[in-house]
Structures are given as C-alpha cells and as structure tokens.
C-alpha cells in the first residue's frame, strides 16, 4: 500500500513543481520540498529494487499526460530530469548499499557489495526455486485461482476467514528451501497459473496480458478527459502494470486505492472545486484540458 501512496505523492510533486508554478504559494512550495524529502527517505529505507524505477515510470506518465497541454514545459522538464537521473541513480545505489548494511548488520564493504549483487540477480528467484526438481508440484495448496488472486479483497470483506486464506506462494517456496521465513519471491503469473490451472495456465496469463493492454492502450483516451480522469487512470495503471509480477499483490494495491486512497482524494478534490468556484479561481483538476498540438 505504501507504493500506491508514494506514487501519488510523486505524481502531485511533479505536477506542482514543473507545470503549475502559478499555484505555488509559500505553503505549497514548502509542501513540495517536504514531499521530496519524505519520498527520498522512504525509498532509501524501503529496500525495494523497483522504488527507483517507479520514480522514472511516474515521471514519464506525467509527461505523457501533459504532452498535449504544455509541450514546451514537458520538453523542459524532460531535459531537467535527464540531467538529474545520473545523480538519482548514484544516490539510489549508495542508499541501497547502506540500507543493506543496516538491515543485515554488516559493516564490511565487500560483503555488502556481494549482498547488493545478490539482490540484483535475484529477480528471477521464483523460477529457480519452483521449477527444478518439480518443487512447484510439492507446494500446491487446496484452493482455486480466483481465491489465490483476490485473497486480499476476499479477506478484507470477510468472505473468507484468515485461516482459509492461502499461503503466499513465495512464502511456501522459501519455506520449502530454507525453512519458514516472513518473506519470499513474487509469484509471477506463469508460476501462479501453472500451480492452480496446470496446462491451462496460458489462459490466466492471457487474461492478465489483456488487462494490462487495455489500460495501456486506452491512455490516449485521457487526452479527451479532464485532469481528474487522468489522475484516476494513472492510479490504476501504475498498479495494473505490475500484475504480471505478483497478481495478488497488485490486486491488494488496487483494493487500497479503491477503498482507502480514492475516497479521501475525491473528497478533497471536490472541496477544492467548491472553494475555487466560490473564489472564482480556475478549477484545474476538474476542468477539461485543451490540446495545443
């Protein structure tokens, strides 16, 4: 759920920093800088390899949404970001280096470097943990693909009890190889599909691919909608794009958006709309953009 919140913070930070300078009073200027500090600290201590890539993805999503509205500003922001990207990458590696040292309680630099290299190559760990020696056949659970995918929603709505919730496949694979541990690799779509559907796993992967393609190919529709529609589309697309890597986790993030993030966001935007209308100010997020291309 933290990922969903940080992505939204990045989204708003980029908008108010690069495109809406006329909206920047002293408080908003301070809020932007504070947001940047919070994001940087959260990424450093998250230990997530995808945190830095998430920043890049969110930035270019904003660029895509605004390219037809502020083409000159988009080009200017793009040049600034490309200039800062090497520094961001260096800081990310340094942050990961120190984070691993703190997490593993290691002080030797060479050992930390080895741990960092191990994290880099462990992206496909679920495959070498599941396929060799038929381990995937030994961790099958008595449930179905629907429950395994929507376990977060089903548990949240009390449709199933906590005892009925299937164990995450990554946890089961880790426990098989190394004993019980509170973590594990992401269950990629092909692993999850084969585990519950066997030879028909391709159908599961096909459906997930169609969902990702639907959101990706409909991004151009956002140009005909208001900024609020673009924001909502972004919120869902940034999570849907990861559904191939970990379908249950992606569904959990989407649930978080639907039930915990979207309602207060919409409420605040409606209040902002009412306030701006009362003060006869431009209603930015509820207005319909005008293309200049």
Q: Which of 38, 71, 105 is the last residue of a domain?
A: 105
Residue 263 vs residues 156, 173, 245: alpha-carbon distances, Å: 17, 37, 27
Q: What is the pLDDT of residues 19-66, one digit of tens each?
A: 665 555 676 667 666 766 766 666 656 556 666 677 777 777 777 777
Return the higher-pLDDT residue of 169 and 163. Answer: 169
Are residues 252 and 144 part of one domain?
yes
Sorted by sequence, the CB contacts under 8 Å of residue 79 that are 6+ apart come out as none
Q: Which of 75, 105, 135 is the last residue of a domain?
A: 105
pLDDT at 208: 93
Are residues 182 and 264 part of one domain?
yes
pTM over 0.75: no
Q: Please report whether residue 243 resides in a domain.
A: yes
pLDDT at 206: 95
Q: Please report whether residue 116 resides in a domain.
A: no
| pLDDT at position 252 over 50 | yes
Sorted by sequence, the CB contacts under 8 Å of residue 269 that are 6+ apart come out as 228, 285, 286
DSSP-assigned letter for residue 15:
I
Are residues 157 and 250 part of one domain?
yes
pLDDT at 150: 92
Q: What is the pLDDT of residues 176-197, one digit of tens each?
A: 888 887 778 888 899 999 988 9
pLDDT, average across residues 158-181: 85
Tokens matching residue 112 = 């930390």
Q: Which of 4-8, 37-41, 140-144 has the highest mean pLDDT?
A: 140-144
pLDDT at 292: 40
pLDDT at 288: 55
pLDDT at 207: 94
- Average pLDDT score, the chain: 76
């Amino acid at each position: 759920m933290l990922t969903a919140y940080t992505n939204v913070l990045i989204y708003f930070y980029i908008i108010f920093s690069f495109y809406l300078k006329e909206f920047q009073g002293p408080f908003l200027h301070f809020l932007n800088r504070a947001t940047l500090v919070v994001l940087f600290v959260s990424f450093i201590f998250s230990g997530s390899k995808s945190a830095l890539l998430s920043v890049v993805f969110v930035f270019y999503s904003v660029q895509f949404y605004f390219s037809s509205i502020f083409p000159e500003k988009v080009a200017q922001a793009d040049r600034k970001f490309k200039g800062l990207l090497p520094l961001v990458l260096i800081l990310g590696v340094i942050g990961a280096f120190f984070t691993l040292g703190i997490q593993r309680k290691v002080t030797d630099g060479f050992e930390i470097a080895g741990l960092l290299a191990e994290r880099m190559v462990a992206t496909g760990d679920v495959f070498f943990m599941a396929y060799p020696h038929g381990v995937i056949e030994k961790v099958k659970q008595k449930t179905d693909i629907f429950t395994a995918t929507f376990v977060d929603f089903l548990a949240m709505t009390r449709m199933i009890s906590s005892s009925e919730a299937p164990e995450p496949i990554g946890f089961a694979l880790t426990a098989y190889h190394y004993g019980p541990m509170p973590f594990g690799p992401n269950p990629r779509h092909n692993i999850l599909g084969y585990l519950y559907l066997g030879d028909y796993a391709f159908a599961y992967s096909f459906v997930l691919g169609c969902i990702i393609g639907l959101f990706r190919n409909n991004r151009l529709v956002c140009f005909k909608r208001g900024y609020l529609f673009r924001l909502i589309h972004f919120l869902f697309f940034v999570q849907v794009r990861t559904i191939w890597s970990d379908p249950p986790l992606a569904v959990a993030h989407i649930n978080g958006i639907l039930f915990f993030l979207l309602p207060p966001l919409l409420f605040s935007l409606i209040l902002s709309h009412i306030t701006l209308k009362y003060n006869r100010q431009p209603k930015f997020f509820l207005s319909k953009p005008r293309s200049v291309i």
